[in-house]
Structure 1
Protein backbone atom coordinates (compact mmCIF):
# COMPACT_ATOMS: atom_id res chain seq x y z
CA UNK A 1 0.00 0.00 0.00
CA UNK A 2 1.31 3.46 -0.89
CA UNK A 3 -0.35 6.79 -0.10
CA UNK A 4 -3.56 5.06 0.98
CA UNK A 5 -3.89 3.01 -2.22
CA UNK A 6 -3.07 -0.54 -3.05
CA UNK A 7 -0.35 -1.14 -5.62
CA UNK A 8 0.11 -4.63 -7.05
CA UNK A 9 3.90 -4.90 -7.26
CA UNK A 10 3.77 -8.54 -8.43
CA UNK A 11 0.72 -10.25 -9.93
CA UNK A 12 0.09 -13.86 -10.97
CA UNK A 13 3.74 -14.95 -10.80
CA UNK A 14 3.77 -18.71 -11.26
CA UNK A 15 6.77 -20.98 -11.78
CA UNK A 16 8.45 -24.06 -10.37
CA UNK A 17 12.12 -24.66 -9.73
CA UNK A 18 13.67 -28.11 -9.54
CA UNK A 19 16.81 -29.22 -7.68
CA UNK A 20 19.83 -28.71 -9.92
CA UNK A 21 18.10 -25.99 -11.95
CA UNK A 22 18.88 -22.29 -12.36
CA UNK A 23 16.03 -19.94 -13.23
CA UNK A 24 17.09 -16.37 -14.00
CA UNK A 25 14.55 -13.57 -13.61
CA UNK A 26 15.23 -10.56 -15.84
CA UNK A 27 13.52 -7.26 -16.57
CA UNK A 28 13.92 -3.51 -16.20
CA UNK A 29 14.26 -1.85 -12.78
CA UNK A 30 10.99 -1.48 -10.91
CA UNK A 31 9.23 -4.41 -12.55
CA UNK A 32 8.86 -6.39 -9.31
CA UNK A 33 11.79 -8.82 -9.40
CA UNK A 34 13.22 -8.00 -5.97
CA UNK A 35 9.76 -7.72 -4.43
CA UNK A 36 9.13 -11.31 -5.48
CA UNK A 37 12.35 -12.49 -3.79
CA UNK A 38 11.57 -10.52 -0.63
CA UNK A 39 8.09 -12.05 -0.45
CA UNK A 40 9.53 -15.56 -0.47
CA UNK A 41 11.69 -14.74 2.56
CA UNK A 42 9.12 -12.70 4.47
CA UNK A 43 11.19 -9.53 4.11
CA UNK A 44 8.51 -7.21 2.74
CA UNK A 45 7.48 -4.02 4.62
CA UNK A 46 4.86 -4.42 7.33
CA UNK A 47 2.11 -2.86 5.21
CA UNK A 48 2.64 -5.29 2.32
CA UNK A 49 0.12 -8.05 1.67
CA UNK A 50 0.72 -11.37 -0.06
CA UNK A 51 -1.59 -14.01 -1.46
CA UNK A 52 -0.99 -17.34 -3.12
CA UNK A 53 1.26 -20.30 -2.38
CA UNK A 54 5.03 -20.74 -2.37
CA UNK A 55 6.50 -23.95 -0.99
CA UNK A 56 10.07 -24.92 -0.15
CA UNK A 57 10.93 -28.04 1.85
CA UNK A 58 7.32 -28.59 2.83
CA UNK A 59 6.92 -25.10 4.32
CA UNK A 60 4.37 -22.69 2.87
CA UNK A 61 6.40 -19.48 2.79
CA UNK A 62 3.75 -16.81 2.24
CA UNK A 63 1.76 -17.96 5.27
CA UNK A 64 4.69 -18.71 7.58
CA UNK A 65 5.18 -16.69 10.75
CA UNK A 66 8.38 -14.84 11.57
CA UNK A 67 9.58 -17.53 14.00
CA UNK A 68 9.34 -20.22 11.31
CA UNK A 69 11.02 -18.04 8.72
CA UNK A 70 13.87 -17.08 11.04
CA UNK A 71 14.53 -20.55 12.47
CA UNK A 72 13.71 -22.91 9.61
CA UNK A 73 13.79 -21.00 6.33
CA UNK A 74 16.34 -18.20 6.11
CA UNK A 75 19.82 -19.62 5.67
CA UNK A 76 18.66 -23.21 6.09
CA UNK A 77 16.11 -23.76 3.33
CA UNK A 78 16.80 -20.53 1.44
CA UNK A 79 20.09 -18.69 1.20
CA UNK A 80 20.04 -15.04 0.12
CA UNK A 81 22.57 -12.97 -1.77
CA UNK A 82 20.97 -9.55 -1.17
CA UNK A 83 20.73 -6.70 -3.64
CA UNK A 84 22.19 -4.28 -1.06
CA UNK A 85 24.85 -6.33 0.77
CA UNK A 86 26.06 -3.46 2.96
CA UNK A 87 22.62 -3.31 4.57
CA UNK A 88 22.74 -7.03 5.42
CA UNK A 89 26.27 -7.14 6.87
CA UNK A 90 26.65 -6.38 10.58
CA UNK A 91 28.58 -3.09 10.67
CA UNK A 92 30.35 -3.67 14.03
CA UNK A 93 31.71 -7.14 13.25
CA UNK A 94 34.43 -8.17 10.84
CA UNK A 95 33.64 -10.25 7.79
CA UNK A 96 35.57 -13.18 9.28
CA UNK A 97 33.57 -13.03 12.51
CA UNK A 98 30.31 -13.00 10.57
CA UNK A 99 31.38 -15.99 8.50
CA UNK A 100 32.34 -17.90 11.65
CA UNK A 101 29.04 -17.01 13.34
CA UNK A 102 27.09 -18.22 10.31
CA UNK A 103 29.13 -21.42 10.19
CA UNK A 104 28.32 -22.09 13.86
CA UNK A 105 24.62 -21.50 13.26
CA UNK A 106 24.20 -23.53 10.08
CA UNK A 107 26.86 -26.25 10.17
CA UNK A 108 28.51 -28.72 12.55
CA UNK A 109 31.93 -27.12 12.19
CA UNK A 110 33.93 -27.56 15.43
CA UNK A 111 34.93 -24.29 17.10
CA UNK A 112 38.65 -24.96 16.56
CA UNK A 113 38.06 -25.30 12.81
CA UNK A 114 35.90 -22.20 12.33
CA UNK A 115 38.68 -19.94 11.05
CA UNK A 116 39.80 -22.51 8.48
CA UNK A 117 36.19 -22.99 7.37
CA UNK A 118 35.70 -19.20 7.15
CA UNK A 119 38.75 -18.93 4.90
CA UNK A 120 37.33 -21.68 2.66
CA UNK A 121 33.95 -19.90 2.53
CA UNK A 122 35.64 -16.63 1.56
CA UNK A 123 37.68 -18.27 -1.18
CA UNK A 124 34.56 -19.93 -2.56
CA UNK A 125 33.09 -16.48 -3.24
CA UNK A 126 36.40 -14.94 -4.40
CA UNK A 127 36.56 -12.78 -1.26
CA UNK A 128 40.22 -12.01 -0.42
CA UNK A 129 41.32 -13.77 2.76
CA UNK A 130 43.49 -10.75 3.59
CA UNK A 131 40.26 -8.75 4.14
CA UNK A 132 38.58 -11.13 6.60
CA UNK A 133 39.47 -8.91 9.55
CA UNK A 134 37.94 -5.83 7.98
CA UNK A 135 34.56 -4.35 8.87
CA UNK A 136 31.89 -3.81 6.20
CA UNK A 137 32.49 -0.06 6.01
CA UNK A 138 36.08 -0.79 4.99
CA UNK A 139 34.98 -2.72 1.91
CA UNK A 140 34.22 -1.53 -1.59
CA UNK A 141 30.81 -2.31 -3.06
CA UNK A 142 32.22 -5.25 -4.98
CA UNK A 143 33.94 -6.69 -1.90
CA UNK A 144 30.75 -6.32 0.14
CA UNK A 145 28.91 -8.20 -2.61
CA UNK A 146 31.42 -11.05 -2.44
CA UNK A 147 31.20 -11.15 1.36
CA UNK A 148 27.42 -11.45 1.14
CA UNK A 149 27.77 -14.23 -1.43
CA UNK A 150 30.14 -16.12 0.87
CA UNK A 151 27.64 -15.87 3.72
CA UNK A 152 24.78 -17.03 1.50
CA UNK A 153 26.61 -20.14 0.31
CA UNK A 154 27.32 -21.36 3.86
CA UNK A 155 24.94 -24.13 4.82
CA UNK A 156 24.33 -25.16 1.21
CA UNK A 157 20.63 -24.32 1.39
CA UNK A 158 18.50 -26.26 -1.12
CA UNK A 159 17.35 -22.95 -2.66
CA UNK A 160 19.54 -19.92 -3.22
CA UNK A 161 18.04 -16.52 -4.05
CA UNK A 162 20.67 -14.31 -5.65
CA UNK A 163 19.40 -10.74 -6.11
CA UNK A 164 21.81 -8.93 -8.46
CA UNK A 165 24.79 -10.98 -7.18
CA UNK A 166 27.26 -9.47 -9.67
CA UNK A 167 26.61 -5.78 -8.95
CA UNK A 168 29.85 -3.80 -8.68
CA UNK A 169 32.06 -6.60 -9.99
CA UNK A 170 34.36 -6.44 -13.00
CA UNK A 171 33.80 -8.91 -15.85
CA UNK A 172 36.27 -11.51 -14.58
CA UNK A 173 34.67 -11.54 -11.13
CA UNK A 174 31.19 -11.59 -12.67
CA UNK A 175 32.15 -14.76 -14.52
CA UNK A 176 33.77 -16.29 -11.44
CA UNK A 177 30.73 -15.52 -9.27
CA UNK A 178 28.36 -16.89 -11.90
CA UNK A 179 30.43 -20.05 -12.20
CA UNK A 180 30.39 -20.59 -8.42
CA UNK A 181 26.62 -20.15 -8.35
CA UNK A 182 26.38 -22.65 -11.20
CA UNK A 183 28.49 -25.15 -9.25
CA UNK A 184 26.17 -24.66 -6.28
CA UNK A 185 23.29 -25.57 -8.58
CA UNK A 186 25.03 -28.49 -10.24
CA UNK A 187 25.48 -30.05 -6.80
CA UNK A 188 21.71 -30.56 -6.73
CA UNK A 189 20.42 -27.26 -5.36
CA UNK A 190 18.05 -24.78 -6.95
CA UNK A 191 19.00 -21.20 -7.86
CA UNK A 192 16.72 -18.25 -8.52
CA UNK A 193 18.89 -15.41 -9.77
CA UNK A 194 17.66 -11.88 -10.38
CA UNK A 195 19.86 -9.82 -12.65
CA UNK A 196 20.15 -7.09 -15.26
CA UNK A 197 23.29 -8.80 -16.57
CA UNK A 198 22.09 -10.89 -19.49
CA UNK A 199 25.63 -12.11 -20.18
CA UNK A 200 25.76 -13.63 -16.68
CA UNK A 201 22.27 -15.04 -17.22
CA UNK A 202 23.30 -16.68 -20.46
CA UNK A 203 26.36 -18.15 -18.75
CA UNK A 204 24.48 -20.11 -16.06
CA UNK A 205 20.71 -20.20 -16.69
CA UNK A 206 18.66 -23.27 -17.51
CA UNK A 207 15.51 -21.21 -17.92
CA UNK A 208 14.71 -17.51 -18.23
CA UNK A 209 11.70 -15.74 -16.74
CA UNK A 210 11.04 -12.26 -18.12
CA UNK A 211 9.11 -9.85 -15.87
CA UNK A 212 7.43 -6.67 -16.99
CA UNK A 213 5.20 -4.34 -14.92
CA UNK A 214 4.84 -6.87 -12.12
CA UNK A 215 3.99 -9.87 -14.32
CA UNK A 216 5.98 -12.71 -15.80
CA UNK A 217 5.46 -12.30 -19.53
CA UNK A 218 7.65 -15.14 -20.79
CA UNK A 219 9.19 -18.36 -19.51
CA UNK A 220 11.72 -19.93 -21.86
CA UNK A 221 14.51 -22.43 -22.10
CA UNK A 222 17.77 -20.46 -21.89
CA UNK A 223 19.32 -22.07 -24.97
CA UNK A 224 16.42 -21.13 -27.22
CA UNK A 225 16.01 -17.71 -25.53
CA UNK A 226 19.57 -16.62 -26.27
CA UNK A 227 19.86 -18.56 -29.52
CA UNK A 228 17.32 -19.82 -32.01
CA UNK A 229 14.41 -19.13 -32.23
CA UNK A 230 14.93 -16.49 -29.52
CA UNK A 231 12.33 -14.90 -27.22
CA UNK A 232 8.69 -14.85 -28.28
CA UNK A 233 7.52 -11.79 -26.34
CA UNK A 234 8.35 -8.45 -28.04
CA UNK A 235 9.60 -7.02 -24.74
CA UNK A 236 11.99 -9.93 -24.21
CA UNK A 237 13.29 -9.52 -27.74
CA UNK A 238 13.81 -5.84 -27.03
CA UNK A 239 15.93 -6.63 -23.97
CA UNK A 240 18.27 -8.73 -26.07
CA UNK A 241 18.34 -6.22 -28.92
CA UNK A 242 19.49 -3.52 -26.48
CA UNK A 243 22.73 -5.38 -25.73
CA UNK A 244 25.90 -3.77 -27.16
CA UNK A 245 26.95 -7.06 -28.75
CA UNK A 246 23.59 -7.29 -30.53
CA UNK A 247 21.63 -4.42 -32.11
CA UNK A 248 22.38 -1.92 -29.29
CA UNK A 249 18.89 -0.52 -29.82
CA UNK A 250 16.98 0.72 -26.77
CA UNK A 251 13.33 -0.12 -26.20
CA UNK A 252 11.39 3.11 -26.83
CA UNK A 253 9.46 4.73 -23.98
CA UNK A 254 9.37 3.89 -20.29
CA UNK A 255 7.63 1.18 -18.26
CA UNK A 256 4.27 2.21 -16.76
CA UNK A 257 3.94 3.04 -13.07
CA UNK A 258 2.76 0.00 -11.12
CA UNK A 259 0.06 2.16 -9.56
CA UNK A 260 -1.25 3.23 -12.96
CA UNK A 261 -1.25 0.13 -15.15
CA UNK A 262 -3.47 -0.01 -18.24
CA UNK A 263 -6.37 -2.44 -18.41
CA UNK A 264 -4.78 -4.34 -21.28
CA UNK A 265 -1.20 -5.32 -22.11
CA UNK A 266 1.18 -3.17 -20.07
CA UNK A 267 3.76 -3.22 -22.88
CA UNK A 268 1.38 -2.18 -25.68
CA UNK A 269 2.35 1.52 -25.60
CA UNK A 270 5.99 0.58 -26.37
CA UNK A 271 5.31 -2.28 -28.79
CA UNK A 272 5.40 -2.08 -32.58
CA UNK A 273 3.21 -5.20 -32.82
CA UNK A 274 0.31 -3.79 -30.77
CA UNK A 275 -3.25 -3.82 -32.13
CA UNK A 276 -6.67 -3.11 -30.69
CA UNK A 277 -6.65 -6.63 -29.26
CA UNK A 278 -3.91 -5.52 -26.86
CA UNK A 279 -6.51 -3.45 -25.03
CA UNK A 280 -7.29 -6.71 -23.19
CA UNK A 281 -4.77 -8.30 -20.86
CA UNK A 282 -3.10 -11.41 -22.33
CA UNK A 283 -2.82 -14.56 -20.24
CA UNK A 284 0.38 -16.58 -19.94
CA UNK A 285 -0.30 -19.37 -22.44
CA UNK A 286 2.34 -21.49 -24.17
CA UNK A 287 4.81 -19.78 -21.79
CA UNK A 288 4.27 -16.30 -23.22
CA UNK A 289 1.77 -13.55 -22.28
CA UNK A 290 1.23 -11.80 -25.60
CA UNK A 291 -1.56 -11.52 -28.15
CA UNK A 292 1.00 -11.29 -30.96
CA UNK A 293 4.04 -13.39 -29.96
CA UNK A 294 6.90 -13.77 -32.37
CA UNK A 295 6.53 -17.11 -34.13
CA UNK A 296 9.33 -19.50 -34.98
CA UNK A 297 9.91 -20.50 -38.60
CA UNK A 298 8.12 -23.81 -37.95
CA UNK A 299 5.11 -22.04 -36.43
CA UNK A 300 4.97 -19.64 -39.38
CA UNK A 301 4.99 -22.56 -41.81
CA UNK A 302 2.18 -24.23 -39.89
CA UNK A 303 0.16 -21.02 -39.85
CA UNK A 304 0.39 -20.69 -43.62
CA UNK A 305 -0.19 -24.37 -44.37
Structure 2
Protein backbone atom coordinates (compact mmCIF):
# COMPACT_ATOMS: atom_id res chain seq x y z
CA UNK A 1 0.00 0.00 0.00
CA UNK A 2 1.33 3.45 -0.98
CA UNK A 3 1.73 5.81 1.97
CA UNK A 4 0.30 9.34 1.63
CA UNK A 5 2.63 12.22 0.80
CA UNK A 6 4.64 13.12 3.91
CA UNK A 7 3.54 16.01 6.07
CA UNK A 8 7.16 16.08 7.27
CA UNK A 9 10.22 14.66 5.53
CA UNK A 10 13.50 14.77 7.47
CA UNK A 11 16.67 13.88 5.58
CA UNK A 12 20.19 13.65 7.07
CA UNK A 13 19.37 16.19 9.78
CA UNK A 14 22.40 16.97 11.95
CA UNK A 15 22.69 19.59 14.68
CA UNK A 16 25.76 20.55 16.63
CA UNK A 17 26.52 23.30 19.12
CA UNK A 18 29.76 25.25 19.07
CA UNK A 19 31.04 25.80 22.58
CA UNK A 20 33.06 28.76 23.85
CA UNK A 21 36.29 26.77 23.78
CA UNK A 22 35.75 25.93 20.10
CA UNK A 23 34.67 22.34 20.74
CA UNK A 24 31.42 20.94 19.38
CA UNK A 25 28.57 19.01 20.96
CA UNK A 26 26.80 16.77 18.43
CA UNK A 27 23.13 16.78 19.46
CA UNK A 28 21.58 15.13 16.38
CA UNK A 29 23.42 13.01 13.79
CA UNK A 30 22.00 12.18 10.37
CA UNK A 31 18.35 11.78 11.38
CA UNK A 32 15.97 10.71 8.62
CA UNK A 33 12.28 9.84 8.66
CA UNK A 34 8.97 10.69 6.99
CA UNK A 35 5.66 11.38 8.70
CA UNK A 36 2.41 11.10 6.76
CA UNK A 37 -1.01 12.61 7.44
CA UNK A 38 -3.12 10.36 9.66
CA UNK A 39 -0.05 9.00 11.40
CA UNK A 40 1.61 9.30 14.81
CA UNK A 41 5.36 8.80 14.99
CA UNK A 42 6.77 8.50 18.51
CA UNK A 43 10.40 9.61 18.86
CA UNK A 44 11.62 7.89 22.02
CA UNK A 45 14.83 7.60 24.01
CA UNK A 46 16.48 8.54 27.27
CA UNK A 47 16.75 12.18 28.35
CA UNK A 48 19.63 13.97 26.67
CA UNK A 49 19.66 11.89 23.49
CA UNK A 50 18.69 14.82 21.23
CA UNK A 51 14.91 14.43 20.85
CA UNK A 52 13.90 17.91 22.00
CA UNK A 53 16.78 19.53 20.10
CA UNK A 54 15.36 18.00 16.93
CA UNK A 55 11.95 19.45 17.79
CA UNK A 56 13.44 22.91 18.37
CA UNK A 57 15.13 22.75 14.96
CA UNK A 58 11.79 22.12 13.24
CA UNK A 59 10.42 25.32 14.77
CA UNK A 60 13.55 27.41 14.22
CA UNK A 61 14.10 27.78 17.97
CA UNK A 62 17.72 26.68 18.26
CA UNK A 63 20.19 29.00 20.03
CA UNK A 64 22.68 31.09 18.10
CA UNK A 65 25.58 28.66 18.56
CA UNK A 66 23.73 25.86 16.75
CA UNK A 67 24.82 24.65 13.32
CA UNK A 68 22.48 22.52 11.20
CA UNK A 69 22.84 20.36 8.11
CA UNK A 70 20.38 18.31 6.06
CA UNK A 71 16.75 19.21 5.43
CA UNK A 72 13.30 19.03 7.02
CA UNK A 73 10.55 19.66 4.48
CA UNK A 74 6.92 20.35 5.20
CA UNK A 75 5.30 20.69 1.82
CA UNK A 76 7.74 22.61 -0.34
CA UNK A 77 9.31 24.51 2.57
CA UNK A 78 12.61 23.45 4.14
CA UNK A 79 12.22 24.37 7.81
CA UNK A 80 15.98 24.39 8.34
CA UNK A 81 16.57 26.90 5.55
CA UNK A 82 13.66 29.23 6.39
CA UNK A 83 14.46 32.67 7.81
CA UNK A 84 12.91 33.99 11.01
CA UNK A 85 10.29 36.05 9.16
CA UNK A 86 9.04 32.96 7.31
CA UNK A 87 9.09 30.85 10.46
CA UNK A 88 7.12 33.44 12.43
CA UNK A 89 4.56 34.18 9.71
CA UNK A 90 4.00 30.86 7.98
CA UNK A 91 5.38 28.01 10.11
CA UNK A 92 4.77 28.39 13.85
CA UNK A 93 1.11 27.76 14.51
CA UNK A 94 0.25 27.48 10.81
CA UNK A 95 2.35 24.59 9.50
CA UNK A 96 3.56 23.27 12.86
CA UNK A 97 1.51 23.45 16.06
CA UNK A 98 3.48 22.96 19.27
CA UNK A 99 2.14 21.21 22.36
CA UNK A 100 4.93 22.05 24.84
CA UNK A 101 6.58 20.07 27.60
CA UNK A 102 5.51 22.54 30.28
CA UNK A 103 2.16 24.18 29.51
CA UNK A 104 2.33 26.24 32.69
CA UNK A 105 5.56 27.83 31.44
CA UNK A 106 4.21 28.13 27.88
CA UNK A 107 1.09 30.02 28.94
CA UNK A 108 1.39 33.67 30.00
CA UNK A 109 0.78 33.65 33.78
CA UNK A 110 -0.78 37.13 34.08
CA UNK A 111 -3.41 36.63 31.35
CA UNK A 112 -6.49 34.46 31.25
CA UNK A 113 -6.74 31.46 28.97
CA UNK A 114 -9.49 33.24 27.03
CA UNK A 115 -7.32 36.29 26.28
CA UNK A 116 -4.46 34.11 25.09
CA UNK A 117 -6.75 32.07 22.86
CA UNK A 118 -8.33 35.21 21.40
CA UNK A 119 -4.90 36.65 20.65
CA UNK A 120 -3.89 33.43 18.88
CA UNK A 121 -7.15 33.36 16.89
CA UNK A 122 -6.58 36.99 15.80
CA UNK A 123 -3.03 36.20 14.71
CA UNK A 124 -3.71 32.94 12.87
CA UNK A 125 -7.25 33.24 11.47
CA UNK A 126 -7.88 36.90 10.82
CA UNK A 127 -10.97 37.08 13.08
CA UNK A 128 -10.32 40.41 14.77
CA UNK A 129 -12.99 41.34 17.31
CA UNK A 130 -16.51 41.02 18.61
CA UNK A 131 -18.74 37.94 19.00
CA UNK A 132 -16.94 36.13 16.18
CA UNK A 133 -13.63 36.29 18.04
CA UNK A 134 -15.20 35.14 21.29
CA UNK A 135 -16.99 32.27 19.55
CA UNK A 136 -13.81 31.20 17.72
CA UNK A 137 -11.84 31.12 20.97
CA UNK A 138 -14.54 29.10 22.71
CA UNK A 139 -14.71 26.66 19.80
CA UNK A 140 -10.93 26.25 19.90
CA UNK A 141 -11.12 25.44 23.59
CA UNK A 142 -14.26 23.33 23.94
CA UNK A 143 -14.68 21.98 20.43
CA UNK A 144 -11.08 21.07 19.71
CA UNK A 145 -9.39 20.44 23.03
CA UNK A 146 -12.29 19.55 25.36
CA UNK A 147 -11.38 22.51 27.56
CA UNK A 148 -14.38 23.59 29.67
CA UNK A 149 -15.65 27.05 28.72
CA UNK A 150 -16.31 27.81 32.38
CA UNK A 151 -12.53 27.81 32.99
CA UNK A 152 -11.59 30.14 30.13
CA UNK A 153 -11.50 33.23 32.35
CA UNK A 154 -9.03 31.63 34.75
CA UNK A 155 -5.30 32.24 34.84
CA UNK A 156 -2.88 29.36 34.18
CA UNK A 157 -1.95 28.96 37.86
CA UNK A 158 -5.63 28.32 38.64
CA UNK A 159 -5.74 25.26 36.38
CA UNK A 160 -4.91 21.65 37.11
CA UNK A 161 -2.06 20.03 35.17
CA UNK A 162 -4.50 18.33 32.84
CA UNK A 163 -6.46 21.53 32.09
CA UNK A 164 -3.25 23.48 31.50
CA UNK A 165 -2.22 20.84 28.97
CA UNK A 166 -5.60 21.10 27.24
CA UNK A 167 -5.25 24.88 27.08
CA UNK A 168 -1.83 24.51 25.45
CA UNK A 169 -3.27 21.96 23.02
CA UNK A 170 -6.09 24.33 22.10
CA UNK A 171 -3.53 27.04 21.28
CA UNK A 172 -1.60 24.56 19.10
CA UNK A 173 -4.74 23.65 17.13
CA UNK A 174 -6.04 27.13 16.30
CA UNK A 175 -4.11 27.46 13.04
CA UNK A 176 -5.11 24.01 11.71
CA UNK A 177 -1.42 23.12 11.29
CA UNK A 178 -0.89 19.86 9.38
CA UNK A 179 1.88 18.86 11.80
CA UNK A 180 1.22 18.68 15.53
CA UNK A 181 4.48 18.52 17.49
CA UNK A 182 4.11 17.32 21.09
CA UNK A 183 7.38 17.63 23.01
CA UNK A 184 7.23 15.53 26.21
CA UNK A 185 3.56 16.50 26.78
CA UNK A 186 3.07 14.06 29.68
CA UNK A 187 5.99 15.10 31.88
CA UNK A 188 4.93 15.32 35.53
CA UNK A 189 1.44 13.88 34.98
CA UNK A 190 0.08 10.82 36.78
CA UNK A 191 -0.69 7.73 34.71
CA UNK A 192 -4.40 8.38 34.34
CA UNK A 193 -3.72 11.92 33.13
CA UNK A 194 -0.97 10.67 30.80
CA UNK A 195 -3.45 8.34 29.11
CA UNK A 196 -6.11 11.03 28.79
CA UNK A 197 -3.56 13.51 27.39
CA UNK A 198 -2.20 11.20 24.70
CA UNK A 199 -5.68 9.95 23.81
CA UNK A 200 -6.68 13.58 23.26
CA UNK A 201 -3.64 14.15 21.04
CA UNK A 202 -4.45 11.03 19.04
CA UNK A 203 -7.97 12.32 18.45
CA UNK A 204 -6.57 15.25 16.46
CA UNK A 205 -4.73 13.11 13.91
CA UNK A 206 -6.68 12.95 10.68
CA UNK A 207 -6.68 13.02 6.91
CA UNK A 208 -4.74 16.29 6.89
CA UNK A 209 -2.79 16.16 10.17
CA UNK A 210 0.07 14.10 11.61
CA UNK A 211 1.49 13.93 15.12
CA UNK A 212 5.16 13.80 16.08
CA UNK A 213 5.21 12.68 19.72
CA UNK A 214 8.54 13.20 21.47
CA UNK A 215 8.62 11.25 24.69
CA UNK A 216 10.60 9.05 27.05
CA UNK A 217 7.32 7.44 28.17
CA UNK A 218 7.15 4.13 26.29
CA UNK A 219 3.69 3.33 27.64
CA UNK A 220 2.35 6.57 26.17
CA UNK A 221 4.04 5.78 22.85
CA UNK A 222 2.62 2.26 22.80
CA UNK A 223 -0.86 3.61 23.45
CA UNK A 224 -1.13 5.92 20.41
CA UNK A 225 1.83 5.56 18.02
CA UNK A 226 1.70 4.01 14.55
CA UNK A 227 5.48 3.96 14.24
CA UNK A 228 8.39 4.33 16.65
CA UNK A 229 11.78 5.96 16.10
CA UNK A 230 14.35 5.18 18.80
CA UNK A 231 17.07 7.76 19.42
CA UNK A 232 20.33 7.07 21.23
CA UNK A 233 23.25 9.46 21.71
CA UNK A 234 22.11 11.80 18.91
CA UNK A 235 21.33 9.03 16.40
CA UNK A 236 18.13 7.27 15.33
CA UNK A 237 19.02 3.61 15.79
CA UNK A 238 15.68 1.98 14.98
CA UNK A 239 12.54 2.87 13.04
CA UNK A 240 9.69 0.36 13.22
CA UNK A 241 5.94 -0.14 13.14
CA UNK A 242 4.61 0.24 16.68
CA UNK A 243 2.79 -3.10 16.56
CA UNK A 244 6.02 -4.91 15.72
CA UNK A 245 8.10 -2.87 18.16
CA UNK A 246 5.89 -3.39 21.20
CA UNK A 247 4.63 -6.82 20.20
CA UNK A 248 6.18 -9.50 18.07
CA UNK A 249 9.00 -9.67 16.96
CA UNK A 250 9.86 -6.71 19.19
CA UNK A 251 12.75 -4.23 18.81
CA UNK A 252 15.79 -5.29 16.81
CA UNK A 253 18.38 -2.87 18.19
CA UNK A 254 19.94 -3.99 21.53
CA UNK A 255 19.41 -0.54 23.03
CA UNK A 256 15.73 -0.51 22.08
CA UNK A 257 15.34 -3.97 23.60
CA UNK A 258 17.00 -2.68 26.73
CA UNK A 259 14.49 0.16 26.97
CA UNK A 260 11.57 -2.27 26.94
CA UNK A 261 13.31 -4.73 29.28
CA UNK A 262 13.72 -1.92 31.83
CA UNK A 263 9.94 -1.43 32.11
CA UNK A 264 8.35 -2.70 35.36
CA UNK A 265 5.81 -4.83 33.46
CA UNK A 266 8.63 -6.62 31.63
CA UNK A 267 11.95 -7.72 33.09
CA UNK A 268 12.58 -4.50 35.05
CA UNK A 269 16.28 -4.80 34.17
CA UNK A 270 18.15 -1.50 33.71
CA UNK A 271 20.62 -1.05 30.88
CA UNK A 272 24.15 -1.20 32.34
CA UNK A 273 26.50 1.75 31.92
CA UNK A 274 25.87 5.30 30.78
CA UNK A 275 25.41 6.94 27.36
CA UNK A 276 28.49 8.65 25.90
CA UNK A 277 28.91 12.40 26.16
CA UNK A 278 27.54 14.16 23.08
CA UNK A 279 30.77 16.13 22.91
CA UNK A 280 32.84 12.94 22.63
CA UNK A 281 30.83 10.48 20.54
CA UNK A 282 32.69 7.41 19.31
CA UNK A 283 33.31 6.97 15.60
CA UNK A 284 31.50 3.63 15.63
CA UNK A 285 28.32 2.43 17.31
CA UNK A 286 27.59 4.72 20.25
CA UNK A 287 25.98 1.84 22.18
CA UNK A 288 28.87 -0.63 21.77
CA UNK A 289 30.38 0.04 25.22
CA UNK A 290 27.09 -1.01 26.88
CA UNK A 291 26.20 -3.85 24.52
CA UNK A 292 26.74 -7.57 25.15
CA UNK A 293 26.62 -8.22 21.38
CA UNK A 294 29.49 -5.88 20.49
CA UNK A 295 32.38 -7.15 18.39
CA UNK A 296 35.24 -5.51 16.53
CA UNK A 297 33.03 -4.42 13.64
CA UNK A 298 31.08 -2.20 16.05
CA UNK A 299 34.05 0.17 15.90
CA UNK A 300 32.56 1.33 12.60
CA UNK A 301 29.32 3.25 12.57
CA UNK A 302 26.36 1.17 11.32
CA UNK A 303 23.98 2.72 8.80
CA UNK A 304 20.21 2.73 9.36
CA UNK A 305 19.32 -0.11 6.99
CA UNK A 306 16.04 -2.02 6.96
CA UNK A 307 14.91 0.01 9.95
CA UNK A 308 17.82 -0.67 12.30
CA UNK A 309 21.33 0.76 12.75
CA UNK A 310 23.16 -2.22 14.20
CA UNK A 311 25.79 -4.72 13.04
CA UNK A 312 24.18 -7.43 15.19
CA UNK A 313 20.41 -6.81 15.25
CA UNK A 314 18.21 -9.13 17.29
CA UNK A 315 16.28 -11.84 15.49
CA UNK A 316 14.63 -13.67 18.41
CA UNK A 317 11.14 -12.40 19.41
CA UNK A 318 11.06 -10.37 22.60
CA UNK A 319 9.52 -12.04 25.62
CA UNK A 320 5.95 -10.86 26.16
CA UNK A 321 5.10 -8.70 29.20
CA UNK A 322 4.22 -10.53 32.35
CA UNK A 323 0.54 -10.76 33.13
Q: CA deviation at 1:238?
A: 0.8
Distance across 2 between alignment mates of 1:108 and 1:40? 25
Equivalent residue number for residue 215 of structure 1: 235
**What is the root-mean-square deviation in Å for CA atoms of aligned residues?**
1.8
Distance across 2 between alignment mates of 1:96 and 1:168? 25
- 3-state SS of paired residue (2:279): helix
- 3-state SS of paired residue (1:12): strand
CA contact (8 A) 1:126 1:177 kept: no
**Counterpart selection for 2:33 from 1, 15, 34:** 15
Distance across 1 between alignment mates of 2:19 and 2:38? 38
Is 2:69 the partner of 1:59? no
CA contact (8 A) 2:38 2:206 kept: yes
Is 2:124 the partner of 1:103? no
Q: CA deviation at 1:261?
A: 1.2
- 3-state SS of paired residue (2:48): coil
Distance across 2 between alignment mates of 1:157 and 1:242? 36
Is 2:3 the partner of 1:3? no
Q: CA deviation at 1:51?
A: 1.1
The Cα offsets for residues 7-53 of structure 1, whole Å up to 9 and x where unpaired, read as: 11001001111111111100000000000010011000011111111
The Cα offsets for residues 83-125 of structure 1, whole Å up to 9 and x where unpaired, read as: 2333322233211111111122223557303334333433343
* Deviation >6 Å, runs of 4+: none
Distance across 2 between alignment mates of 1:57 and 1:82? 23
Is 2:122 the partner of 1:122? no
Distance across 2 between alignment mates of 1:26 and 1:207? 11
**Counterpart selection for 1:81 from 88, 91, 99:** 99
The Cα offsets for residues 192-230 of structure 1, whole Å up to 9 and x where unpaired, read as: 110111111111111100000000000001110000000
Equivalent residue number for residue 286 of structure 1: 306
Structure 2 unaligned spans of 5+: 1-17, 318-323
Equivalent residue number for residue 267 of structure 1: 287
- 3-state SS of paired residue (1:16): strand
Q: CA deviation at 1:292?
A: 0.6
TM-score by length of 1: 0.91
Aligned length: 297
* Structure ranking higher in helix proportion: 1
Distance across 2 between alignment mates of 1:253 and 1:143? 38
Is 2:281 the partner of 1:258? no
Structure 1 unaligned spans of 5+: 298-305
**Counterpart selection for 1:169 from 189, 196, 217:** 189
Equivalent residue number for residue 25 of structure 1: 43
Is 2:68 the partner of 1:50? yes
**Counterpart selection for 1:247 from 267, 275, 290:** 267
